[in-house]
Amino acid sequence: MAISSTKDVPNTSATPEHVAIIMDGNGRWASQRFLPRTAGHAKGVQSVRRAVETCGNAGVRYLTLFAFSSENWRRPADEVSLLMRLFVQALEREVSRLQEQGVRLRVVGDLSPFEPKLQELILQAQESTAQNDALHLTIAANYGGRWDILQATRRMLAAHPELAAHPDQLDEQLLSNYLSMAWAPEPDLFIRTGGEQRISNFLIWQLAYTELFFTDCYWPDFGEAELRQAFDWYSTRERRFGRTSAQVYGSAKT
Ligand code: FPP
């Protein structure tokens, strides 16, 4: 059962256990170079590879990447179809590398609008990496935090119809068991590249106590050094989870 940061004080260490990233700035990276936006996404795949490697080497256990939001369908049709092709290619080409690195891949989000071939590749990749445990890589695709809370509520009520008559029996822990990443701890460190400072409907429930790191660096330029810088910044944060500083350092009565 997942620990809830609003109820329990999780054990934390200098290295984040779970890193969640919004990979923003691909389009602007490309425009600066007079390239089509899609070239930025293609370049962004290399940064995904680097992030997986760096997290694995640094001892991060969970890496969650926001690859396609529920709102990204609003983009031009050719950009959406290029992104879908990139997912297909990445799944076809990268799974053997993930195997070598001991990476378990999962995809979360509403996958029903994706074409059957992509859905099939996702299932295959999830199954073939299911025994790996070195790094848990999650790709959020057609994902939205509000969608996640809604789907969790629907599934929970279907499993516990008695709750409708006894809503007082519903608690945070029960609902969070139905979120699409219920098996993972909440993110310790959230990173957004590309200069914007917002969460954009990413893991909105799970980010309640996460440290938020924003950088102007565009995602295609975000490499090992930039990721390590974010880890260094994280290691300086004092995570209080509602306690006082004195409590955190053990110099006050609890
Ligand atoms: C945001 O940049 C990025 C995306 C919507 C897509 C992210 C996709 C990738 C990095 C490639 C594929 C990933 C995998 C996991 C295979 P943006 O287009 O919003 O950039 P902008 O803000 O500069 O326009």
Distance 199 CA to ligand 1 centre (A): 15
What is the domain extent for residue 200?
18-249
List phi, psi (to 5°) of 39. Answer: -65, -30
**Domain-embedded: residue 64:** yes
**Domain-embedded: residue 204:** yes
Nearest residue (by CA) to ligand 1, atom 22, is 25
Q: Which CATH number goes with the domain that contains 214?
A: 3.40.1180.10
Distance 222 CA to ligand 1 centre (A): 12
The answer to whether residue 24 is catalytic is yes
Cβ–ligand 1 distance for 194 under 6 Å, the answer yes
Burial code (b: 16+ CB inside 10 Å, e: under 16) for 153-190 equals eeebeeeeeebeeeeeeeeeeebbebbbbeebbbbbbb
In the chain, how many domains are there?
1
Residue 221 CA to residue 252 CA, distance in Å, equals 44
**Domain-embedded: residue 254:** no
Nearest residue (by CA) to ligand 1, atom 16, is 87
Cβ–ligand 1 distance for 82 under 6 Å, the answer no
Mutate to test the pocket of ligand 1, among 21, 22, 24, 52 (most ligand atoms within 8 A of CB): 24
Cβ–ligand 1 distance for 140 under 6 Å, the answer no
Would you state the pLDDT for residue 254? 47
Query: Which residues, in sequence order, are bridge partners of residue 217?
Result: none
The answer to whether residue 177 is catalytic is no
Q: Which two tokens stand for residue 197?
A: 């400072």
Q: How far is CA 93 from CA 42, 87, 102, in A?
A: 14, 10, 16
Would you state the pLDDT for residue 246? 73
Residue 108 CA to residue 141 CA, distance in Å, equals 6
Q: Which two tokens stand for residue 143?
A: 């994902």
Would you state the pLDDT for residue 99? 95
Mean pLDDT of residues grouped by 10 in the chain (254 residues)? 66 90 97 96 96 97 94 91 91 94 96 92 95 97 95 97 94 96 98 97 97 98 98 89 71 54
Mutate to test the pocket of ligand 1, among 21, 22, 26 (most ligand atoms within 8 A of CB): 26
> pTM of the entire structure?
0.90
Distance 150 CA to ligand 1 centre (A): 25
Which burial class, exposed, middle or buried, applies to 9 when counting CB atoms under 10 A from its CB (0-12, 13-18, 19+)? middle
**Domain-embedded: residue 135:** yes
Would you state the pLDDT for residue 250? 72
Cβ–ligand 1 distance for 44 under 6 Å, the answer yes
Would you state the pLDDT for residue 8? 73
**Domain-embedded: residue 32:** yes
Distance 101 CA to ligand 1 centre (A): 24
Q: Are strands 189-192 and 211-214 parallel, antiparallel or unpaired?
A: parallel
Helix, coil or strand: residue 164: helix
